[in-house]
Amino acid sequence: MRPAITPKGLVLILLLFCGGSPGASAQTPAFVSYSEKANQLLENTQVDEYNTLIDPKGNLFTLSYDHEDILELEGSTLKSIKANLRKKVYHLAMDSKGTLYCICDNKLYRREDGAWAQIGDDIPERFPTALQVGLDDNVYLNTDHSILKFEDGGWTFLRFSDKKAVSHPGSYFKKAIDSKGTVYMYHSDLQNPENKKKLVLRWDGKAFKSIGDMPGNVTDMAMDKDGRLYVSGFLDKDAFRKVWDGVSWTDVPAPAEALATATFMRTQHGQVFLHSTIRDTRTYVLYKLTDGKWQQWMLYPPGTMCCTLYPVSPGRLYYIGQKRLGIYNNVNNKR
């Protein structure tokens, strides 16, 4: 899923958390080499990497880059599923069951039986910046200065007190929501550069309060299925990786053979991946954390290092670079 930026930038690293505490050692199963024949770049439709989602069955949904269409990938063809919507669609989100939500004409829609139905009242603020479904399966909307939660057919505001100091509170990649509906977000003071604090904030039911000062700019936040918050970013040229267990922060080491620039990236619900180049090689690999140890999950195309990655299963992933969607499907790439 980006570089030292966000799913909207490029991918520098990813990780899928499946339990246990992070460990530095990596098991190294035998992989077949990367296969160029398994790589396919779709030539036509330009898509929006910030609004690309994978459902539990591995199906891909995205918005066209001009936001005129909602698309589903069938085989190697993108087909329209915009159905009854007539205006531009600006944001797309998905819950744990694969149900799609979108924003069109400042209204929230849910996909039901192939059509889109408005749910709830009109959105009370204009120009939302992102739409997200938390691990609690509730819908959250971001504006420049607020986060809104959709519940009981209406919108509840989670406001940040200092509007001028917020660093993109609505950024999809700098916000995480656990299964209890606790919202975490990254905050830096853009108005006062001399204030070097890079804070992670948590909503306590009334206000956002700091739970820690990060060593550098945060580029990604991810929440695993057990409620642990993963944060990564960059300090100078190296990455930092930390996990919050609800009480304290702990450093998360990367596999010994991975580069120091390895960082987290959020993908689907409760998933976290780690992607890196193997040290002193040009081998690109995704890691998966299993039973407290990193495992090499799959090799992937070298040309996707500056793309957003969307892993589906070992040997299969989607990627977006320069607005174009690519498919990598190497059935022989096994652990």
Per-residue pLDDT tens digits of the chain, which is 335 residues long: 333 323 333 233 333 333 334 544 443 333 344 566 677 878 678 999 889 999 989 899 999 999 999 999 998 899 999 999 999 999 999 999 999 999 999 999 999 999 999 999 899 888 788 899 998 999 998 877 778 899 888 998 887 655 544 444 445 557 889 989 899 988 776 555 556 678 898 988 888 888 999 998 888 888 887 888 988 888 887 889 999 999 999 998 888 888 877 777 666 566 778 888 888 877 788 887 766 667 788 888 777 767 888 888 888 888 888 889 988 887 666 54
Please give the pLDDT value at position 114. Answer: 95
β pairing state of 15-17 and 89-94: unpaired
Please give the pLDDT value at position 105. Answer: 93
Please give the pLDDT value at position 43. Answer: 66
Determine how many CB atoms are found less than 10 A away from the CB of residue 135. Answer: 21
Please give the pLDDT value at position 47. Answer: 94
Burial 76-102 (b: 16+ CB within 10 A, else e): eebeebbeebeeebbbbbbbbebebbb
Please give the pLDDT value at position 211. Answer: 94
Verdict on whether the full-model pTM lies above 0.85: no
Residues of the chain by 3-state class (helix, strand, coil), percent to 5: 5, 50, 50
Give one DSSP letter per residue of 23-89, joined into a string: -S-EE----PPP-GGGEEE--S--EEEEEEEE-TTS-EEEEETTSS-EEEEETTEEEE--TT--S-E
Please give the pLDDT value at position 268. Answer: 59
Regarding the domain with residue range 15-329, which homologous superfamily does it belong to in the CATH classification?
Answer: YVTN repeat-like/Quinoprotein amine dehydrogenase (2.130.10.10)
Please give the pLDDT value at position 101. Answer: 97
Please give the pLDDT value at position 235. Answer: 83
Query: Contact 306/10 with Cβ under 8 angstroms?
Result: yes
Please give the pLDDT value at position 279. Answer: 80
Please give the pLDDT value at position 187. Answer: 78
